[in-house]
Structure 1
Amino acid sequence: MMNQADFRFYAELNDFLPPWQRMREFTHTFANNPAIKEVIEALGIPHTEIDLILVNGQSVNFSYLLQNRDRISVYPVFEAFDITPLLRVRPQPLRETRFILDVHLGKLAAYLRLFGFDTEYHNDYEDAQLAQIARQEKRILLTRDIGLLKRNQVTHGYFLRETYPKQQLREIFRRFDLFRAAKPFQRCMICNGLIYPIDKNEINHQVPAATLSYYHSFYRCQSCHQIYWPGSHYQQMQTFINTILPQQDQP
């Protein structure tokens, strides 16, 4: 005999459900007594998006075994109020906001580096590598691949709703409240290394003479040795930064 349970998903978790299951309670049929994590992910919701599960009014973790006639309420990561007395199903937030991005998010990776966030990205990473690095280096995995977020190794991850890089950047700033943590022009947009000031006499053989005579401030990446200076491209980036960050929040 098959068992049945009633599910209700709240807020943005409905983004992962088909239209006929969104914003309403629905009945799900299942065999035996599977772990609730298995059932929720089968319905399409990655575990990294979930903060609280209530079964018959009581908070449970992902290992709870689903029973016939259970009533389940599933909530996303809470931002507005404290649920400390209840049982959170996801690990506590990471002490440092560090990211790893899947292979389709190269432009977003460059933007996050522009704003000073430690962002790991290579366009040839396999899914297994992404999950492993995210766990080992305590990074938040950003992706538009739901299946990647369902991997057990991934403890902190986020599914991007937006499809265009600039909108994705704004989405990430809102979702992780990054506005005051941003430190523009601290990281290399190419390799993620930290950049530091350098005397132009040390790079006079690497930069055109006209550039050396016109500009006085130069910077170099400590990892890939890319050289930067505040040229016209810098002004364009500053204008872009000003569209994301309130002026008073910039360092």
Structure 2
Amino acid sequence: MRLLGIDAAYEPDGDDSSLATRSATEQRELLTLDRGLLFRRNVHDGALIRTDDVDAQLDDILSRFAPRLAPWTRCLRCGALLEEVSATEVAAQLEPGTARTYRSFSRYTGCGRVYWRGAHSRRLEALVRRATS
């Protein structure tokens, strides 16, 4: 979901209590396979995910909630937004081959990691195309 620009929090190891509290505190929709978790009193709002298949989950979320999509704008790890930066600003964080090969860079405002549209992005473009069509 973050790849598509959706502000999604993710806690795979979070217990029910902390997930419900985070939903309430941050006013987030809680998406879960756990029906019982949705009945916790402090859950802000929630929805039951009906399948374990990741592609089907994404299709379900996109059709049910129709979120505004902004692909390639969020960090896949921390969820923070990207900001454009010059190559000289991030040169110390780059491998020599990357610095020679790429000219356009961004940095995530949360974790500070550097991003460039490298070979890794080609695999994800099909997912973005499918989700935005």
Residue 182 of structure 1 corresponds to which residue in structure 2? 69
Deviations 1:155-187, CA, capped at 9 Å, x for gaps: 310000121112101110001022xx1001111
Native 8 Å contact 1:162 1:171 kept in 2: no
With 210-219 and 167-176 compared, the bigger mean Cα shift is at 210-219
Instruction: Give the superposition deviation at 1:114.
Output: 0.6
Matches within 5 A, 1:19-30: none
Distance of 1:207 and 1:195 partners within structure 2:
17
Instruction: Give the superposition deviation at 1:214.
Output: 1.4
Distance of 1:144 and 1:230 partners within structure 2:
33
Structure whose residues are more often strand by fraction: 1
TM-score, normalization by structure 1: 0.51
Distance of 1:226 and 1:167 partners within structure 2:
30
Instruction: Give the superposition deviation at 1:199.
Output: 0.6
Task: Let me know the Cα RMSD of the aligned residues.
Answer: 1.1
1:202 aligned onto 2:96: no
Distance of 2:119 and 2:16 partners within structure 1:
38
1:222 aligned onto 2:106: no
Distance of 1:227 and 1:167 partners within structure 2:
31
After the TM superposition, list the runs of 4 or more consecutive aligned residues in structure 1 that deviate by more than 4 angstroms: none
1:152 aligned onto 2:41: yes
Q: Which has the larger radius of gyration?
A: 1
Q: Which amino acid aligns with 2:48?
A: F
Task: Report the count of equivalent residues.
Answer: 133
Q: Which amino acid aligns with 1:132?
A: T
Matches within 5 A, 1:1-251: 112-178=1-67, 181-246=68-133
Q: Which structure has the higher relative contact order (CA within 8 Å, separation 6+)?
A: 2
Native 8 Å contact 1:119 1:192 kept in 2: yes
Instruction: Give the superposition deviation at 1:122.
Output: 2.2
Native 8 Å contact 1:195 1:220 kept in 2: yes
The secondary structure found in structure 2 opposite 1:204 is: helix
Instruction: Give the superposition deviation at 1:240.
Output: 1.5
Instruction: Give the superposition deviation at 1:227.
Output: 1.2
The secondary structure found in structure 2 opposite 1:205 is: helix
Distance of 2:12 and 2:33 partners within structure 1:
15
- Which residues of structure 2 form unaligned runs of 5+? none
Instruction: Give the superposition deviation at 1:118.
Output: 0.9
Instruction: Give the superposition deviation at 1:124.
Output: 2.8
TM-score, normalization by structure 2: 0.94
- Identical columns (%): 33
